[in-house]
Amino acid sequence: MVIALVNHKGGVGKTTCTLNIGAGLQRMGKSVLLIDADAQANLTTSVGLGYIELPSLADVLAERVSIQQAIKSEGRDIPIVPATLELAELEISLAAQLDGRERLKRALQPIRSEFDYILIDCPPTLHLLTDNALVAADEVYIPVMAEFMPMSGLVTLTKHIDRVQRSILNPSLKLAGIVLTRFNKQKVMCQTVQQELHERFPQELLNTVIRENVAIAEAYRMGTDVFQYQAKSNGAEDFTALCDEFLLRQNATETNVKRRNGNLVKETL
Ligand SMILES: Nc1ncnc2c1ncn2[C@@H]1O[C@H](COP(=O)(O)OP(=O)(O)OP(=O)(O)O)[C@@H](O)[C@H]1O
Ligand SMILES: [Mg+2]
């Protein structure tokens, strides 16, 4: 299962969610691969790597190396395909290529079944790198910060996801979840945003919210996840609950698909 974490608004917790959902799922026994699709390379540094890890995702998208060659796994808890600043230049040159949006999907093909979850951290844009993630992904999760009114941005984003679904590039893409981040229940604004999201996206909005928590921010700065940094923090508690809910939803989807397939078999008999 390939999952893209997308929001063209900056600083909403995309990278933090990718890192800690990845770490949480791995603690629950799932095999996880992280992919840093942002030239800022925040995910790369948040797992303790440097800015110039080569080969990187840019080499993969330029088809200079295979994705297997770009996975950093030695001595690491979670394997990662790192980003470098070169991704920014590559984005411009790939835009001129006919298959520019399909490079990541093609690169992932040989390793899709090797991991339970491949999580892609996207940049704060809806340009080519995010499109590569949306074309490669089975599901999209949108981290949303609870502090600002996020609706207008979400409308733009869901329209964009809609366009990808209606194109031939990825008709089976599913908007699977919206996660409220940096939540502070004392703030009226947070409750208002939660209520609005619940009304507008009743299926997609996850019950679990990620609270504003200093351990989450410190872990990220120190190049590690919140579980390793402070296992007994609100952050570790929230990301554990989020991963539990995520896996429950995954199981429900699988059961529905099986049920549908079962009915299909009955109908055709
Ligand atoms: N729940 C949280 N509690 C406290 N700080 C948080 C939380 N979530 C994220 N942060 C902090 O907020 C900042 C932005 O988070 P993050 O980098 O994950 O956002 P982003 O959406 O990936 O940003 P960008 O759009 O630039 O890629 C970081 O400094 C991070 O440590
Ligand atoms: Mg980020």
Q: Classify residue 201 by burial, with Cβ atoms within 10 Å: 0-12, 13-18, 19+.
A: middle
Specify the ligand 1 atom closest to the Cα of 213: 3
pLDDT in tens, 29-83: 999 999 999 999 999 999 999 877 789 999 999 999 999 999 999 878 899 999 9
| CA 14 to ligand 2 center in whole angstroms | 5
Answer whether residue 269 shows pLDDT above 90: no
DSSP-based three-state secondary structure for 118: strand
For ligand 1, mutation pick of 5, 16, 212, 238 (most atoms within 8 Å of CB): 16
Burial grade of 140 (CB within 10 A; 0-12, 13-18, 19 or more)? buried
Looking at the DSSP assignment, which residues form a beta bridge with residue 80? 34, 72
Reduced to 3 states, what is the DSSP secondary structure of residue 127? coil
Handedness of CA 255, 245, 175, 114 (dihedral sign): negative
Helix axes 234-268, 14-27, angle to 10 degrees: 70
- 131 by DSSP, 3-state: which? helix
pLDDT beyond 70 at 257: no
All structural domains of the chain, each given as residue ranges with its CATH number in brackets, are 2-268 (3.40.50.300)
Average pLDDT over residues 86-93: 94
User: pTM for the complete prediction?
Assistant: 0.94
